[in-house]
Amino acid sequence: MDRKKELKQLYKETKVEAGVYQIRNTVNNKVFIGSTRNLKTLKGKQFELEVGTNTNKLLQSEWNQYGKDAFSFEVLEVLKPKETGFFDAKRELKKLEEKWMEKIQPYEERGYNRMKPADL
């Protein structure tokens, strides 16, 4: 098998993991909590910040102010799919993210997330 086909096959076999992550400002300890259906996309989040296109204005502003070395990216929890029966990954991921939002409270002076009207 040639190298290109081999790499393509490897990519297809790579397990996609969903989960909850945080981006921490190590200068002021503010955090952003987010979730993704593919944790490999965290590099994409970092790239967004580096080129200035992240939609979270406060996070983007502090990234610009402190620089990339002041931030760390960490996976908080990987979503574990059920072995049997129906599994709604999107819904379960949302519940997992809400659990971490409740635990860390990344709002106002503690973080970059905004409270949703239902949270107020």
How confident is residue 6, by pLDDT bands cut at 50, 70 and 90? confident
Which of 45, 67, 62 is CA-nearest to residue 54?
45
pLDDT over 90, % of the chain: 73
CA angle in degrees (0–180, nearest 5) for 67-68-70: 75
Q: What's the 3-state SS for 17-45?
A: CCEEEEEEECCCCCEEEEEECCHHHHHHH
What is the arithmetic mean of pLDDT over 12-36? 92
Domains and CATH numbers, the chain: 17-100 (3.40.1440.10)
pLDDT band per the 50, 70, 90 thresholds, residue 3: confident
Q: What is the pLDDT of residues 79-114, one digit of tens each?
A: 998 777 788 889 999 999 999 999 999 999 999 999
Residue with the bigger pLDDT between 26 and 118: it is 26
Residue holding tokens 């709604």? 88
pTM above 0.85, yes or no: no
DSSP character string of 106-120? -BGGGBSB---GGG-
Rounded mean pLDDT, 34-55: 95
Distances (CA, A) of 5 to 8, 10, 16, 40, 113: 5, 9, 20, 21, 42
